[in-house]
Amino acid sequence: MKSYKRSSRVQSKILSSVADLIKKKVNDPRLEMATVTGVKMSDDLHDAYIYFTVYSTGSDRKRLQDEAMEGFDSASGFIRKLLAKQLGVRYMPKIRFIHDI
């Protein structure tokens, strides 16, 4: 018997896949400073909460965070479509991006 839930395995796959997709497939300058920091899945695997942060030390940090959120909102459908191909799951969860504080 496996010692961890299926949601944990899917979380891990989503984390690595989204980080890779942002670097290689999503061409949005608003996401250049964004880094995916974690993923939480609902137990029924219908929702994926993807946490991100923006590394900036200047006074424009809040602006960059807001721009990154807009970029993720804009690209979420594209990212979900590519994730579905990579994960090979029966049901692709809804993805929601959340700024990690």
Task: Identify whether 94 is part of a domain.
Answer: yes
The CATH number of whichever domain residue 68 belongs to comes to 3.30.300.20
Task: Identify whether 23 is part of a domain.
Answer: yes
62-68 contacts at long range (C-beta below 8 A, 24 or more positions apart):
64/33, 65/99, 67/30, 68/30, 68/31, 68/33, 68/34, 68/99
**pTM of the shown model:** 0.87
- Residue 59 is predicted with a pLDDT of 81
**Mean pLDDT over residues 52-78, rounded?**
91
* Angle, CA of 7, 21 and 32, to the nearest 5°: 120
- Residue 57 is predicted with a pLDDT of 75
Nearest to 22, CA basis, from 5, 6, 39: 39
% helix / strand / coil in the chain, to the nearest 5? Answer: 50, 20, 30
Task: Identify whether 1 is part of a domain.
Answer: no
**Mean pLDDT over residues 66-71, rounded?**
95
In which band, very low, low, confident or very high, does the pLDDT at 4 lie, cut at 50, 70 and 90? Answer: low
**Mean pLDDT over residues 69-73, rounded?**
96
